[in-house]
């Protein structure tokens, strides 16, 4: 590792890419080009790229830099999905082992995240990412997902979020009723039958833009998330994904996945359902904290089926 720079941060090298940070910015460089991002936005995107293991398809940190997941290897790119870069043949891509990219990204995130800054938190609920190096925040960046073996809240499994468990209702969800359903199980089935208030459960989430699998049946993954401010990545889909807006509203910019050309704006209000096509990129804006259900199809044969035209990019024609 390099010596720390005058601001206290180390430089990182990944193939031909170089990453440095100063008080305000992440600076990226590669053979033939360079790029600058506000460091708070860079760290929020980096946090998600690592914890989602490069997600489905493309994680654009912004309109220039990002990763495309090939589920084992990863394309790390600059300008690959940017019409201006492509037209001038200025794009740059390296295909690297996912494990190597994740390890380097994790080291960079740990070094560049200051005490008090939580890349998963809403801007109004975290300290600043800026300034010279000031401590670290391992608790925020090393969150571990809890894996349930039965329905959440059932005896012997992970507990429901509650005040007692240190999960207070979020400041923007104080209007969400916290009452729990009554369950009247037949004698002998008390340990088999269960129900809980899912809105109350989600209202206690302390992270934003971080879908958590809440049911997995074969390849069907239903993921709840609480959203506030901007989705820190521009997601390029390699399959269709469905959104169910559970509360409040999110405004989506939807663009062509390859070029970024605008395709649609969708303002989703509570109860709205949308299928995001397999050939788009999108970024959401949540003016106040909202609840979103993201339904993903984890079938690993899908990217190839869309790429070769075996499946249409949109699942429904109206």
User: Shortest distance, CB of residue 115 to ligand PHB, whole angstroms?
Assistant: 25
What binding mask, one character per residue, do residues 228-247 give for ligand PHB by CB under 6 A, x or -?
---x---x-----x------
Strands 17-21 and 58-60: unpaired
Q: Does 81 bind ligand PHB (CB under 6 A)?
A: no
Closest CA to 106 of 50, 144, 66, 52: 50
Residue 30 has which token pair?
């590669």
Q: Does 61 bind ligand PHB (CB under 6 A)?
A: no
Which of ligand PHB, Fe ion, none does residue 228 bind (CB under 5 to 8 Å by kind)? none
User: Shortest distance, CB of residue 236 to ligand PHB, whole angstroms?
Assistant: 9
Among the candidate windows 75-83, 147-155, 209-217, 265-273, which touches ligand PHB by CB under 6 A?
Answer: 209-217
User: Shortest distance, CB of residue 280 to Fe ion, whole angstroms?
Assistant: 8
Q: Does 225 bind ligand PHB (CB under 6 A)?
A: yes
The residue within the footprint of ligand PHB, chosen from 294, 312, 313, 315 (CB under 6 A), is: 294
For residue 251, the number of C-alpha atoms closer than 13 Å in the C-beta half-sphere is: 7
φ, ψ for residue 45 (rounded to 5)?
-70, -45
What binding mask, one character per residue, do residues 228-257 give for Fe ion by CB under 5 A, x or -?
-------x----------------------
Among the candidate windows 107-115, 139-147, 224-232, 305-313, which touches ligand PHB by CB under 6 A?
Answer: 224-232
User: Shortest distance, CB of residue 231 to ligand PHB, whole angstroms?
Assistant: 6
Residue 119 DSSP code: T
For Fe ion, which is the closer residue by CB, 133 or 235?
235
Sheet of 12-14: strands edge to edge? 12-14, 17-21, 25-30, 33-38
- Residue with token string 């989602």: 52
Contacts 24+ apart (CB under 8 A), 148-153: 151/194, 152/196, 152/201, 152/214, 153/194, 153/196
Angle at 259 between CA 238 and CA 273, to 5 degrees: 50
Q: Which residues bind ligand PHB (CB under 6 A)?
A: 209-211, 225, 227, 231, 235, 241, 292, 294
């Amino acid at each position: 590792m390099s010596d720390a720079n005058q601001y206290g941060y180390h430089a990182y090298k990944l193939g031909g890419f170089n990453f440095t940070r100063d008080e305000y910015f992440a600076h990226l460089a590669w053979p033939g080009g360079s790029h600058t991002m506000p460091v708070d936005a860079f760290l929020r995107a980096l946090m998600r790229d690592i914890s989602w293991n490069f997600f489905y398809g493309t994680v654009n940190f912004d309109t220039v830099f990002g990763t495309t997941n090939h589920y084992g290897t990863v394309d790390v790119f600059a300008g690959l999905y940017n019409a201006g870069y492509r037209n001038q043949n200025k794009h740059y891509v390296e295909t690297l082992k996912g494990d190597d990219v994740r390890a380097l990204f994790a080291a960079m995130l740990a070094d560049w995240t200051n005490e008090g800054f939580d890349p998963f938190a809403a801007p109004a609920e975290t300290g600043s990412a800026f300034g010279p190096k000031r401590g670290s925040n391992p608790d925020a960046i090393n969150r571990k997902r809890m894996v349930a073996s039965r329905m959440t809240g059932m005896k012997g499994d992970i507990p429901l979020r509650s005040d007692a468990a240190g999960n207070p209702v979020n400041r923007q969800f104080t209007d969400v009723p916290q009452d729990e359903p009554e369950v009247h199980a037949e004698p002998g089935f008390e340990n088999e039958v269960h129900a809980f208030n899912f809105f109350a459960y989600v209202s206690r989430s302390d992270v934003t833009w971080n879908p958590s699998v809440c049911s997995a049946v074969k390849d069907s993954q239903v993921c709840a998330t609480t959203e506030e401010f901007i989705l820190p990545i521009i997601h390029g889909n390699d399959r269709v994904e469905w959104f169910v807006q559970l509360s409040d509203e999110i405004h989506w910019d939807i663009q062509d996945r390859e070029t970024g050309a605008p395709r649609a704006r969708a303002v989703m209000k509570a109860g709205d359902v949308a299928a995001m096509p397999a050939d788009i990129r999108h970024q959401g804006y949540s003016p106040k904290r909202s609840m979103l259900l993201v339904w993903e199809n984890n079938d690993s044969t899908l990217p190839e089926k869309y790429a070769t035209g075996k499946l249409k990019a949109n699942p429904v024609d109206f």
